[in-house]
Amino acid sequence: MKITDVKTEVVHIPLKKPFRIAFAVQDHSVNVLVKIMTDDGLWGIGEAAPFEPVTGENAGTVLEVLKLFRQGLIGRDALDIEGAHRMMDGLIAGNTAAKAAVDIALYDLRGKAMGQPLYKVLGGGKNQFVTDMTVGIDTPEAMAAEARERVEKDGFSVLKIKAGICPADDVRALQLIREAVGPHIRLRVDANQGYTYSDAVRTLKAFAELGVEAVEQCLPGWDLEGMRDLRGRVDIKLMLDEAVHSPIDAARACRMGAADSINIKLMKCGGLYPAQQINAIAEANHVECMVGCMVETKVAMAAGAALVAARDNITEADCDSFMSAVDPEMGMPGGFTVQNGVYTLGDRPGLGLDIDF
């Protein structure tokens, strides 16, 4: 099965409301879809969801890099995903969202060729898991109101609370959120590198008293030593996100004992192939993983969801961003459903989405 052509399409994703984290505010995303076609008549769809503060890319750079990859992909065996990554890494460093788009399309193709849904292609047997829902930074009162709505109206049992700008406001927000949602809703916090070490010590102790079970990337991504030391000073699980882009990053973090868990994002690492490597390294070091996301359509979200379903060591999911779009479906029916925070994956081959261009 040889690759015969590669096409791209730019998609604009407006959000229902601006989404604020410690270092950025987003009210939309401009992503790139990729279609890889073969001489067997099969084709696969992938997606790049670039985010400049994290991946260093935007839609323009993704399109240029995909032109480069197209030359290396045409004529290649569509099932040789490792070879495709070797080719892409040999042509250009970084550019992980562009690489993820190619990777996802090739895995979609593999699933179609096998006649199996992607979670089974990846070796999994379950088709359900629970995702959290993220609450962006706002006033503490507004965040508590949103948290209550997400629980009472939408049925979510796990909330991820963004933080990292003002520690005092963060603690106040978590106090109000806990009061609003009650003691049984699971809470975790994502500070997006926003705290100093001393702020983190004080703030995380306050979070622990409120029953927060984990805090994600509270220190800058480069400060693995700080994360390692912080683990010994607070009674709360620590997760790495921006500190781990690659399998090499994961190996170093595990070797240093810098994390209780790692947030894997396909756009950050370059797709499902390196994501599985990160998880394997983490699992060998008794470190659990979560699959997170950028602002993505159902294409990349279906790929991330398949990975969650396929690996027991991926114990948490933060696969919620498509639900924040003005049109979550975006003309892409199928793949999966989400009800009360529970993902149920379909059994159609590959990503299982009804989309073409």
**35 is known as an active-site residue:** no
Q: Catalytic pick from 35, 162, 268, 298?
A: 162
Known binding residue 103? Answer is: no
Contacts of 209 (CB under 8 A, 6+ apart): none
Known binding residue 146? Answer is: no
Phi-psi region of 314 (alpha: psi -120 to 50; beta: other; left: phi over 0): beta
Backbone angles phi, psi at 193, to 5 degrees: 70, 20
List the structure tokens of 159: 């909330």
| Cβ proximity of 299 and 33 under 8 Å | yes
Give which of 244, 303, 241 is closest to 278, Cα–Cα.
244
CA distance 102 to 67: 11
Q: Any bridge partners for residue 239, and if so which?
A: 216, 261
Exposure of 117 in the CB half-sphere (CA atoms within 13 A):
24
Q: Catalytic pick from 99, 120, 265, 268?
A: 265
**162 is known as an active-site residue:** yes
Known binding residue 77? Answer is: no
Contacts of 72 (CB under 8 A, 6+ apart): 84, 87, 88, 91
Q: Where are the alpha helices (DSSP H) in the chain?
A: 52-55, 59-73, 81-91, 96-114, 118-121, 140-152, 167-181, 197-209, 224-231, 247-256, 266-269, 272-284, 298-310
Give which of 260, 259, 328, 258 is closest to 293, Cα–Cα.
328
List the structure tokens of 188: 């975790």
What is 260-295 written as a DSSP string?
SEEEE-HHHHTSHHHHHHHHHHHHHTT-EEEE--SS
| Cβ proximity of 84 and 73 under 8 Å | yes
* C-alpha pair distances (Å), 298 with each of 295, 318, 319, 329, 332: 10, 14, 10, 7, 7
Q: Return binding residues for Mg(2+).
A: 190, 216, 241
Residues comprising the binding site? 190, 216, 241
Query: Active-site residue numbers?
Result: 162, 265
